[in-house]
Amino acid sequence: MFGVFLICIPIAMKSAELEQRPHHPVRSIPSQLWCKNFGKEY
């Protein structure tokens, strides 16, 4: 089970780093906290 976390954590971090959202979401969603193209005001 610990091995799964060792694999998934770096993948999730890289995914958050590369994430792009072309449109603003209709309502606030947790993943936009780490999405860099929206900034802090949304």
Q: What is the pLDDT of residues 1-42, one digit of tens each?
A: 889 989 999 998 888 788 777 777 777 777 676 666 665 554
Q: Give the residue extent of every domain in the chain.
A: 1-38
Q: What is the pTM of this model?
A: 0.53
Cβ distance 24 to 8 under 8 Å? no
Distance of CA 5 to the CA centre of its chain: 17
At 7 the pLDDT is 93
